[in-house]
Amino acid sequence: MSRRRELMHQQKKLGEAREIVSAMKSLAFMESRRLARFLAVQRQVVRTMENAAADFLKFHPGYLEQPRSEASAQRQIFLLLGSERGFCGNFNESLLEALDEREGHPQTPDVIACGQKLYSRLEEHPRLITGLAGAAVLDEVPAALNGLVETLTELQRGDREITVSALFHDPEQDQVVTRELLPPFQKLPEAQVPVSHPPQINLAPREFLLALVDQYLFAALHEMLYVSLMAENQQRMQHLEGAVRYLDQNLDDLQRRGNQLRQEEITEEIEVILLSAKSLVPRRGE
């Protein structure tokens, strides 16, 4: 009886763990559905700004070409968008592998780690600038965005010119991608409709471009945070789905072992009853 009671206790604990893991998977699914709506709108905002920049630069190309320092004097920075929470498989490990591919190059980039789980793995990195809190859910994206903007703004005030590239997961490509942020507008989409006349603007061209760059960087960072969080939740769902299957297999195994022990107990009880009944049968001559 004690062995079966122990199995029942273990089965109860695994059942409770399965309920928790299943609830976490459901939350990740709901978060992905919420993100999908916001991400679609944010992508449209970014594409609209890129089209506006393409139209502007077609007629004012010289305003983006500014005197640049030598490549060796530029400070290259990689912004890594990792996870704030765990249970998302090799999400952060993939980012670290992509970063390792840059090691050993003539100019190793400095690193900004966004996300506590990622930052904890990079604390000893010799080129780490800082670690920032990421977004665990959609509602935390604005706070994470403000932290990124403040950090990049402070770095731009330094003496050296900086180039910034972001490394993050893209669920559509199912891999870690690299996107250049600074200098801006390096890869603009081709115009869908031929433009024959320059756009009408109410500001001086340089003033307009500076304002557009500020708004574009803010919108692009916003989009990348949404994309990264979407990929994180999708990987979390896959990871937790595997955990649910593993727990189900263990619960089934415990159920079979419990049934087997119960059958053995029943058999032992029947044998005891038969032996007791046999001892009560009167012998001949008595």
Report strand pairing: 110-114 vs 128-132.
Answer: parallel
**Domain 30-61+73-187+197-236 part of CATH 3.40.1380.10:** yes
pLDDT in the model for residue 272: 76
Q: In DSSP terms, which residues pair with 132 in a beta bridge? A: 114
**Residue at token pair 């180039």:** 163
Q: For the chain, first and last CA: distance in Å?
A: 39
**Helix pair 91-100, 205-280: axis angle to 10 deg:** 130
Neighbour tally for 38: CB within 10 Å: 16
Across the chain, which has 286 residues, the per-10-residue mean pLDDT values are 78 89 92 94 93 86 62 80 90 91 68 94 90 93 94 84 92 91 82 67 88 93 96 93 91 86 81 72 56
pLDDT in the model for residue 67: 47
The SS3 assignment for 160 reads coil
The domains of the chain are located at: 30-61+73-187+197-236
pLDDT in the model for residue 281: 57
Quick: pLDDT tens for 57-101: 888 887 776 545 455 567 889 999 999 988 888 999 999 998 888
Quick: pLDDT tens for 249-270: 988 888 888 888 888 778 877 8
